[in-house]
Amino acid sequence: MAHLFRVVVPVRDMESAARFYGQVLGTPGQRVTPGRWYFDCEGTILACFDPRADGDGYDAQPLPEPIYFAVDDLETTYANAKAAGGMFSADVVPGVGPLGHIAKRPWGERSFYAHDPWGNGLCFVDEKTLFTGR
């Protein structure tokens, strides 16, 4: 059996990424290298990675799909994401609902969608409403 232990999120400014994710996640995390900052999300590491800062010859590109976080206080996380400079969509998707606001989704989850300053999609879900496909 496998255990997911690290998810890499590409960023282009490590200091800004540390501030943004530290505010949203409520933890300062720690610098690992000039281009890596790790946040422990209850055993799975969210690794902010700036390839240029680590000496790699390419720019970070946003992930094509959102990263999903289970949180114990969705309203506080929403407020923290807004204060940190998260970008919120005004889109309303048929069968899903308003993306940039807390809403109950048709599959039962309460969640909101946002983007970090580098265009990575993020979704925060009330942990009491997680749908795991079972």
**Nearest-angstrom CA–CA distance, 15 and 98:** 31
Domain boundaries, the chain: 6-129
Q: pLDDT for 9-36, tens place per residue?
A: 999 999 999 999 999 999 999 999 999 9
Tell me: pLDDT of 89 over 90: no
**Which of the two residues, 92 and 51, has the higher pLDDT score?**
51
Q: How confident is the model at residue 92 (pLDDT cuts 50, 70, 90)?
A: confident
Supply the DSSP symbol for 94: T
Domain 6-129 falls in which CATH fold?
2,3-Dihydroxybiphenyl 1,2-Dioxygenase; domain 1 (3.10.180)
Amino acid code (one letter) for 93: V
Q: pLDDT for 96-113, tens place per residue?
A: 888 999 999 999 999 999
**Nearest-angstrom CA–CA distance, 126 and 72:** 6
Supply the DSSP symbol for 87: B
Cα–Cα distance list, 21 to 9, 18, 99, 103, 132 (Å): 11, 6, 20, 22, 25
- Yes or no: say if 89 and 113 are a contact pair by the CB < 8 Å rule: yes
| pTM score above 0.85 | yes
Q: Which residues contact 98 (CB under 8 A, 6 or more apart)?
A: 90, 91, 92
